[in-house]
Amino acid sequence: MPNTFDWIEIRTGDIEGTARFYEGLFGWKVTEKETADGFAVWIFDTGGEPRVQNLRRGGIWLRPAGEPLGVVVYIVVDDIEATLRRVNELGGRAVSPKVPLGGGYGALFADPGGNLFGLYEDKDAG
């Protein structure tokens, strides 16, 4: 269907290390594929169904001065604090701690390549 989100691309200078990071952090399955336009492309599978209420939604947020800009993809987790500890163990870094966000909690982290991602925890999860 036109005009809908189609693809999430994590750009990196170390495809094997980035694959290990996300496999170790979230248990995603990462599979090496052939190249696209001369560049290696590995596909990740989160193994879960998307959250139906957010499947075709997104938001545009006015960020306070000094906060990072850009597109942020949020990943639902059961425990933000435990996930941020694992981020640090695997060579990434926590960018912001767990804070109230909508009906739950959110946090930001950067993977070892510096890509920024969000974490989301439902309020009743933790």
Joined tokens for residue 76: 């639902």
Give me the phi and psi of 81, to 5 degrees please: -60, -45
Contact criterion met (CB below 8 Å) for 57 and 4 = no
Please name the residue ranges forming H helices in the chain.
15-26, 80-89
Whole-number pLDDT of residue 125? 55
**pLDDT tens digits, one per residue of 24-46:** 999 999 888 867 667 778 888 88
- pTM for the model stands at 0.80
Whole-number pLDDT of residue 41? 82
Whole-number pLDDT of residue 4? 66
Domains along the chain with CATH numbers: 15-122 (3.10.180.10)
**pLDDT tens digits, one per residue of 75-115:** 999 999 999 999 999 999 999 999 998 889 999 999 999 99
Residue with tokens 């290390």: 17
